[in-house]
Amino acid sequence: MQDIEYFYRHFPVLETERLILRELTAYDVRDIKKYSADDRLYTYWGRRMSYKERDPSEMFRTIRKDKQPDCIRWGIEVKSTREIIGEINLFNIQNSRMGEIGYRLAFERQGRGYCTEAVRRIIKFCFEETSLQRLELRAMAANEASNRVALKCGFIKEGFIRQGKFVHMYVNYNLYGLLRSDIYDDSTDENNTPEQYDEENTEKEYSY
């Protein structure tokens, strides 16, 4: 089991029955544009489309060497077609202890169980291969599909936030949480102790 920082340097490629979750590259620009430049994808995304999403080639033009990673971003590839149809992110990671999952899928690929399959694989990775103990997931209250994904994946609804900040918008949204101990027996897990404190003085903000 590794601290999550290890995987910033050694990108984890994950596999499911139908999907490969892998790092996005410049070769994926055509596929990325199919979903990222679709206005329908931003109804529940919390912000408008960025210029890099309208032209995904911009994402790969410059890579800042000095920027420390604080998230892992997987492309969702369908095995049968080798096409990237969306992405799933592990971000807002704090002290290798907890993190948040976010995802989006090409509009025409929704409703086929791909997101549920990908999220379940990320959960398995986080709790079996890293030291993360808690995962969070946020979904707009109006986004019925995303809320169903959270529940299907075992997340527990922990709160209903009224007009809270969701990326760049103020909306009603649901907060879900999932603990490692919700799935695994942690009776012998020394990492799951109340003596661990948050020593960070500043919060990290995920940049889309």
- pLDDT given for residue 96 in this prediction: 87
- pLDDT given for residue 185 in this prediction: 77
pLDDT digits (tens, 9 = 90+) for 72-81: 999 999 999 9
- pLDDT given for residue 61 in this prediction: 80
Quick one: which of 112, 119, 90 has its CA closest to 4?
90
- pLDDT given for residue 4 in this prediction: 86
Question: Distance (Å, rounded) from C-alpha 140 to C-alpha 150?
Answer: 12
Question: Distance (Å, rounded) from C-alpha 91 to C-alpha 40?
Answer: 23
- pLDDT given for residue 63 in this prediction: 59
Q: Which residues of the chain, if any, have pLDDT below 50? A: 66, 188-208
- pLDDT given for residue 89 in this prediction: 96
Question: Distance (Å, rounded) from C-alpha 30 to C-alpha 82?
Answer: 12
* Rounded alpha-carbon distances, angstroms, from residue 183 to 2, 16, 177, 200, 207: 19, 19, 12, 28, 30
Question: Distance (Å, rounded) from C-alpha 154 to C-alpha 167?
Answer: 24
